[in-house]
Amino acid sequence: MNENKQLKVSAIKNGTVIDHIPPRNLFKVISILGLDKVENQITFGTNLESKKLGKKAIIKISDVYFLDDEINKIALVAPQAKLNIIRDYQVIEKKVVEVPDKIVGIVKCFNPKCITNHENIVTKFIVASKKDVSLKCCYCEKITYQDQIVIV
Amino acid sequence: MKNKSLVSINDFTKEDYLKILDLAEGFEKNPSQQVLTGKVVATLFFEPSTRTRLSFESAVNHLGGRIIGFSDSNSSSVTKGETLKDTIRIVSNYCDLIVMRHPYEGSARYASEIATVPVINAGDGANQHPSQTLLDLYSIRKTQGKLNDLNIFLIGDLKYGRTVHSLIMAMSYFNPTYHFVSPDELKLPDEYKIFLNNMGIKYYEHKEFTDIISEADIIYMTRVQKERFTDPIEYEKTKNAYELRNFMLSNTRPKMRILHPLPRVNEINIDVDENPKAYYFTQALNGMYIRQAIITSILGLK
């Protein structure tokens, strides 16, 4: 079983593995973490079999380690994501993501009449619910629910 | 409250509200107090609202202050493509206080972050209109002699009506019982019901009100606002959902009063106007005293 997994997405020597990403949100995770601008080696796989999610995506980033604040941002789109910190092919630490209290500059307010959708403003949200992620806009005070989340 | 912007009704505490109401009482007894001499207030109305603008400008004039500004965005640099950010930054240089009405929700909060002077939100889209809420509280206290333990009927557009939303939040400090009357299309959004449930405040939802208004201490009528609808068909279906007529008031409580944020269209028939329970025109007058109270309080003059 382990051999099969390694064949699908190759192992990394050092870096971070982000596992249990919902496949439909893989590119949102890439966007949130700014991986499209990183020059390190990145491999990803999607629509992989998962006992927990049915299908999952996985990202392996060589020689990159994230701060908790950075990685928690992906909780908006991948609340069940797990991180493995790899050194010399060994998992030395496992982490789960946590929805932060405040979301700044990542999510677009779903309200078309919100000022943030009409001027060049960094969006700010207070997390109203961490369970079924809902975000209250600090400007228009409207709630953006999880299925409405669009990454800026 | 000095130098604190008033963007949302949630920016002020219960004590702040009561202080504003008490100050407004003083201005009602003596409206011409020249405490704003030498001060300049900018009224920036990016969308027209004659009533609110005149109320604020009248308040400033009675206080001896001066006014600069514009009454709709066509007469400002917005037509040249200037951003709100730049407008606010520039106008902050010229005044001691900004009163702003803007069609986009959240614009007042944004303006308060940029401005170097306090900002009073005179309405940001369908979001907030806190000075209206304070004048509503003032009118309720004045007519009922108290704010606590009242039966408040809110009728009409409860979905988009920002005055309704703010009043619900503000009155929640005073143990009200709410009766929400609206067609299904314009029901109160769930977030407010969740708030009331969490606060343990009683509320009832109805589609009709004629047989229950004998219980009311306050009837708060609202207009179905065309500009808040994205779907014109939905507007046409609901615009004439309720009309209050004079004959409906015969069994209502003696102290009951009818409030309306104005302007009204069809929701209160003119035959109600001469009924002593019709309070909406005096309510609008109260707005001037409240705005005097807010301005002087924010500028630290009272």
User: Under an 8 A CB cutoff, do A139 and B125 touch?
Assistant: no
User: Under an 8 A CB cutoff, do B109 and A139 touch?
Assistant: yes
Chain B residue numbers with beta carbons less than 8 Å from the beta carbon of A114 are: 104-106
Structure-token match 């219960």, residue found: B14
Check if B106 contacts A (Cβ < 8 Å): yes
Q: Which residue of A has its CA nearest to B110?
A: A139
Chains A, B: CB pairs < 8 Å: 50
Token couple for B5: 């912007």
CB proximity list for B15: less than 8 A, separation 6 or greater: none
Closest CA to A141 of A116, A119, A106, A122: A116
Q: Which of A114, A119, A143 sits opposite B105 (nearest CB)?
A: A114
Higher pLDDT residue, A3 or B199?
B199
Instruction: Select the highest-mean-pLDDT range: A68-72, A106-110, A147-151.
Output: A106-110
pLDDT of B216 reads 97
pLDDT of B73 reads 78
pLDDT-flagged residues of chain B (< 50):
none
**Residue B208 burial (CB < 10 Å; 0-12/13-18/19+)?**
exposed
Residues B157 and A140: their CA atoms lie apart, in Å, by 19
pLDDT of A58 reads 94
Interface list for chain A against chain B, based on CB atoms closer than 8 Å: 109, 111, 113-116, 118-121, 137-143
User: Under an 8 A CB cutoff, do B110 and A121 touch?
Assistant: yes
Encode pLDDT of A116-143 as tens digits.
999 999 999 999 988 888 999 999 999 9
Q: Mutation target for B interface from A139, A142, A145: give the one with most B CBs within 10 A.
A: A139
pLDDT band at A1 (very low <50, low <70, confident <90, very high): very low
Mean pLDDT of chain A: 89
Q: Which of A114, A119, A140 sits opposite B84 (nearest CB)?
A: A119
Distance from CA of B109 to the nearest CA of A (A): 6
pLDDT of B76 reads 73
Check if B224 contacts A (Cβ < 8 Å): no
Encode pLDDT of A11-29 as tens digits.
889 999 999 999 999 998 9
pLDDT of A3 reads 47
User: Under an 8 A CB cutoff, do A111 and B85 touch?
Assistant: no
**Residues of B marked as catalytic:** 51-52, 80, 101, 129
User: Under an 8 A CB cutoff, do A115 and B128 touch?
Assistant: no
Instruction: Give long-range contacts, CB 8 A cutoff, 24+ apart: A93-101.
Output: A95/A68, A95/A71, A97/A71, A97/A72, A98/A68, A98/A72, A98/A130, A99/A72, A99/A75, A99/A127, A99/A130, A99/A133, A100/A69, A100/A72, A100/A73, A100/A75, A100/A127, A101/A126, A101/A127
Chain B residue numbers with beta carbons less than 8 Å from the beta carbon of A120 are: 83
Chain B residue numbers with beta carbons less than 8 Å from the beta carbon of A111 are: 105
**Distance between start and end Cα atoms, chain A:** 38
pLDDT band at A9 (very low <50, low <70, confident <90, very high): low
Does pLDDT of A34 surpass 50?
A: yes
